[in-house]
């Protein structure tokens, strides 16, 4: 049976929907990194040990916008709110909703002005709820 990939999800930041450059949305639900190592018990026996690196339990949302006047206002608000932004990533066709709370716009943002120029935004905060 054929499955459908997520290709055109909706981004809502603080209740406002933003249109973004297609194919630039990247979401990390923030479940972090894990590792498995082996320990030896002698006589050829071994046992695995599971590690969770909770340092990496950070939700992350990245997307790019074209340089538009409205984005300066949005950027100013996002930076002013600090870590009090809320982001929803919604895929209407599959009813998948990722909710990111406590998000901060962390990257250094510059707005290139010219034809076909885009501005990357990166938000980090609490792991996603879905």
What track of x and - describes contact with other proteins for positions 32 through 71 (by CB under 8 A)? ----------------------------------------
Q: Cβ(37)–Cβ(69) under 8 Å?
A: no
Which residues, 6 or more positions from 11, have their beta carbon under 8 angstroms from its beta carbon? Answer: 17, 18, 20, 25, 61, 63, 87, 88, 89
Tell me the closest approach of the beta carbon of residue 42 to other proteins, in angstroms: 52
For position 101 contacting other proteins by CB under 8 A, the verdict is yes
Q: Cβ(83)–Cβ(102) under 8 Å?
A: yes
Choose the stretch contacting other proteins; rule: CB under 8 A; options: 36-44, 61-69, 99-107, 115-123: 99-107
Choose the stretch contacting other proteins; rule: CB under 8 A; options: 30-38, 63-71, 96-104, 116-124: 96-104
Binding site for other proteins (CB under 8 A): 12, 14-17, 81, 83-86, 88, 99, 101-103, 125, 129
């Amino acid at each position: 049976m054929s499955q459908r990939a997520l290709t055109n999800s909706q981004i809502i930041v603080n209740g406002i929907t933003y249109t973004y450059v297609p194919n630039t949305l990247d979401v990390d639900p923030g479940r972090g990194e894990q590792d498995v190592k082996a320990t030896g018990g002698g006589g050829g026996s071994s046992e695995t040990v599971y590690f969770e690196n909770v340092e990496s339990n950070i939700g992350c949302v990245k997307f790019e916008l074209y340089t538009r006047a409205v984005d300066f206002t949005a950027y100013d608000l996002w930076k002013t709110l600090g870590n009090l932004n809320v982001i929803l990533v919604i895929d209407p066709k599959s009813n998948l909703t990722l909710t990111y709370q406590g998000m901060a716009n962390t990257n250094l943002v510059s707005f290139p002005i010219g034809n076909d120029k885009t501005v990357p935004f990166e938000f980090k905060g609490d792991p996603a709820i879905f």
